[in-house]
Structure formats: structure tokens, C-alpha cells
Amino acid sequence: MVQGMANWNTGQTQKWLQQYVDDWVAFYRKRTNDGDVASYIPALAQADPDDLGISIIGKSGMTVRSGDTDMSFTLQSISKVISFIVACMECGVSYMLDRVDVEPSGEAFNSIMHLEMQQVEKPFNPLINAGAITVGSILPGKTSDQRLEPIFQLLENMVGYRPKLNVDVYESERDSSMRNRAIGYYLLETGFLESDLNVTLETYFKQCSIEVTIDDLANIGMVLANDGMNIKTGEAIIPRQIARIAKVLMLTCGMYDASGKFATYVGIPAKSGVSGGIVAAVPPRVRDEPMPFTDGCGIGVYGPALGDEGNSIAGIRLLRHIANQWDLSIF
Ligand code: DON
């Protein structure tokens, strides 16, 4: 345990924390060997499996960044949090919760089987593919670009610039994603989709292909940690109730069938994507002894080597280590 300083928000402390994080990143980089990059979307297979980077941004502005900090990568499933928030803001929370549930599925993120086996009344949650595709069908707009516009706007309000679409990744996913098309047809048959399937799938593939950095993820995490407030601008950009539901979903469903373990060993609302990104939102905590980032922080991680559940393998271990060392758990 890091101990011995009364005030964690000083320049000296930042240097100290930086040294720790540099050591931990170097250590956990070795664990990238235990995973593989996603290859079912061909463009993602080009990532370097040895990459590992982290960015931690605190409420006071204190920032600790380490490892491969300058990589760009696509949001993938992290976009599902954003699209659900936008859909709630556009259509209302109760409208959305009538159409997508908030229960963990306990199955893989791209499972179709559970929809049929359990004869569900609505997809389990908006963070699995079936739920996110359903959300994409509800977003207002006739074209995929119209549906994506409020997603881009919210991201811009969170990260401070308008992120770009990675067209190569979008086309690669569009041309290879038979599984998502199958999920889409199943949702169409069962009456869950509210609009045209092709526009809906195009919306989904594009939202997954929005390009970000770990600093962007840390800023997104900061907004969620602060219940929808952008601390830098002082603007409330997501209604508090919606930001809270988003964090509940991240904690209970954000790591798919590894969510229970993540909540147990890390204890932070977080969401992963198959490109290797993880966003984590650490709310302010009350602690008896001084700890880093007790007033909350956002964390962005990039590590494209994935474990069996589709989450960054070294990224999760690094987060677990930091959460334990700095007592970041919300519990
Ligand atoms: O639909 C897919 O399969 C991908 N575009 C997103 C999946 C994903 O990121 C799952 N996350 N860990």
C-alpha cells in the first residue's frame, strides 16, 4: 500500500504516483502474452498485442499517464454506453427501459442463443450486442449519420473535440460481421427493432468505429464519475439519473460474463471494447487514511491483447492492481 502523505494533490505526489504506475505498467505488459488481439474484425487484427497504456485524470486535473499513451483505437463496445445515454436523453429513461432491460446476461457479448432459449421480453441490457443494436434502432434519425450525430456531439462535450470515424475499421466490421447481422435478423423477427435493420446495423458498426485515445477515455470516465458533469467546463452534459444508470450498467454488465469478477476484484464501473480499450469511472470516495484520487478520477486503458471474455487481459490486471493499491473500489 502506498502510504505516508497527508495531501495527495501535490506535484511531488504526482511524481511518486507516476513512478509507481510506470513500474506497474512495465510489470503487467508481460501479461499481454496471455491474450490475443481480436481477429474476427480483420482490421483489429493489425493491433500490436504488446501495447499497454493507461491515463488517469483526477478532478483537480492531476494526470498520470504511462506506457503506450499515444495510440488511437476504436471505441467498439465502449460506444454502447454512449449510445444508451444518448437514447435515454433523446427518448426518455422509461421509454428505453421498457425496451431494453438492465440485467446481466451471463453470456458472451455476441450471444444469440440466450435470446431464444430464454424467450426474453426485451434484450438483457444495452451493453450486449443485442441490446446495443436495439438501442441503435430506437435512436432518432432516418440515416445512420443522423442517428450518430448526437453521439458525436456528446463525445465532443466529454472529450473536448469531435472524434473521427475510422473508416477502415467500419468497413472491415460491416463486411465481416455476420454474427451481428444474425442478431439483427433475430431482433427483427421478434419485433424488438423500432426501425430499418440496415440503417440500424450501419449505425451500430459506425458507433463502434469511432476513434479515441486513452486520454479521451479518461475524460469520459471523469464525466461519468461526476454524475454527468464536465469538471473542466462546469457544464452538466448528462442528466444525473442517466449517468447513474450508465454506471450501474457498467458495473453489472460492462465486462460481460466477467462482470461479477471485475466488480469483486476491482470494484469500479467500467466498460471494455474488443479493440482493447477500457473506460473506468471512479467516483469520489470517503477514506480514513489519505489515498490518491479520493475526489474521483477517470481512467482510460489500452491493451489490445484480450482474454476469453473479450476484455483487455493486461488492462484488467493493471486496473485491479491500481484499484487495490489506491483503494479505488466504490464498495
Ligand atoms: O459487435 C462487435 O462484435 C464489436 N463491434 C464490438 C464488441 C465488443 O467490443 C465487445 N467488447 N468487449
Model pLDDT for residues 252-299, shown as the tens digit of each residue: 999 988 999 999 999 999 999 999 999 999 999 999 888 999 999 999
Q: How far is the CA of 74 from the centre of ligand 1 (A)?
A: 10
List the domain range (segments joined by +) for residue 139: 78-208
The residue whose grid cell reads 456531439 is 153
Q: What is the per-residue pLDDT for 9? A: 61
182, 264: one domain:
no
Task: Specify the CATH number for the domain of residue 320.
Answer: 3.40.710.10
The half-sphere exposure of 129 on its side-chain side, counting CA atoms within 13 A, is 27
* Reported ipTM exceeds the 0.90 cut: yes
- To the query of whether residue 66 is one of the catalytic residues in this protein, the response is no
Q: What is the pLDDT of residue 6?
A: 52
Q: What is the pLDDT of residues 36-48, one digit of tens each?
A: 999 999 999 999 9
Average pLDDT over residues 185-210: 97
Q: Kindly state whether residues 145 and 176 are assigned to the same domain.
A: yes
Place of cell 443485442: 130
Nearest Cα residue to atom 4 of ligand 1? 76
Are 32 and 96 members of one domain? no
Convert the pLDDT of each residue in 99-129 to its tens digit.
Answer: 999 999 888 898 888 888 777 789 999 999 9
Neighbours of 322 (CB within 10 A): 27
Residue 80 appears among annotated catalytic residues: yes
Q: 204 catalytic, yes or no?
A: yes
Q: Give the model's confidence band at 4: pLDDT under 50 very low, under 70 low, under 90 confident, else very high.
A: very low
Is any atom of ligand 1 closer than 6 Å to the C-beta of 274? yes
Each residue's pLDDT tens digit, 60-107: 899 999 999 999 999 999 999 999 999 999 999 999 999 999 999 888
109 in contact with ligand 1, CB cutoff 6 A: yes
Question: Chain-wide mean pLDDT for the chain?
Answer: 95
Task: Quote the number of domains for the chain.
Answer: 2
Annotate 60-124 with DSSP letters as a single string.
Answer: TS-EEEEES-S--EE-TTHHHHHHHHHHHHHH-HHHHHHHS------S-TT--HHHHHTT-SS-S
Residue 121 confidence (pLDDT): 86
The ligand 1 atom at the shortest distance from the C-alpha of residue 275 is 9
Among residues 122, 112, 82, 54, which one has the least CA distance to residue 254? 82
User: Do residue 163 and residue 224 come from a single domain?
Assistant: no
CA of 80 to the centre of ligand 1 (A): 9
The pLDDT value recorded for residue 1 is: 44
**Do 204 and 93 fall within a single domain?**
yes
